Amino acid sequence: MKILLAEDDAKIADYIVAGLSENGHSVEHVSDGRDALSYCLYNDCDLAILDRMLPGMDGLSVLKALRASQKTLPVLFLTALGQVDDRVEGLAAGGDDYLTKPFHFSELVARIDAIVRRKSEKKVEPVLTVHDLTLDLLSRTATRQGNVIELHAKEFSILEILMRNAGRVVTRTLLLERVWNFNFEPNTTVVETHMSRLRAKVDRPFDTPLIHTIRNTGYSMHGPR
């Protein structure tokens, strides 16, 4: 995948370029916002990673200019501006994801992969199935072994994300972003509370658990292995 990295901190840029290159990506690096905008407008790339605080033109202005030009290029913000208002502003302007510094490289890779998966989805599958659990996205009903499971809106959203990513780890951060839209601070227990309620409905009445906790990371949904 071809990625544009707009980052004016040379040390951070070298670290990211080296890591993404090792993961098989082709990375073009610029340190100025105007250069980032020019590159995205006149070159083909699959993803742009933008710092918010860039010389010449800030990352948010770069994104707004891209969206004004009808560019649908996926954009991931990677920045030290990590307040809730900053993140909401970046996403509202058309950003696809928002990661704050300092960051773990493994999470950066996971965020990139998630963006690519979302953009590559050609159509929404009307029914999701994991083992003996079925989620009908049109009627918004869940059934397991023929039993209808009553879900509240947030529980339905969490279950949909887990089932769409069956067999993969879904981080707590991703759930906070996708289900609650950054309305809660990262130290909230809202994810754990809703996950407990969801498990009580989806797993506990049945012999085989499908929702599994990945310690210090998040959750994964899969059937027996």
pLDDT for position 160: 94
Question: Are 40 and 84 within 8 A, CB to CB?
Answer: no
Average pLDDT over residues 200-207: 96
Does one domain contain both 116 and 152? no
Residue type, 81: L
Task: Please say which residue of 120, 153, 180 terminates a domain.
Answer: 120
pLDDT bucket at 122, cuts 50 / 70 / 90: very low
Average pLDDT over residues 153-173: 92
Write down the mean pLDDT value for the chain: 90
Task: Please say which residue of 120, 146, 166 terminates a domain.
Answer: 120
* Percent of the residues in the chain that have a pLDDT greater than 70, as a whole number: 95
Task: Render pLDDT for 19-69 as a digit per residue (tens, 0 to 9).
Answer: 999 888 899 999 999 999 999 998 888 999 999 999 999 999 999 999 988
For residue 66, what are the domain limits? Answer: 2-120
Task: Please say which residue of 71, 101, 120 terminates a domain.
Answer: 120
Average pLDDT over residues 103-122: 83
Does one domain contain both 140 and 104? no
Domain count, the chain: 2
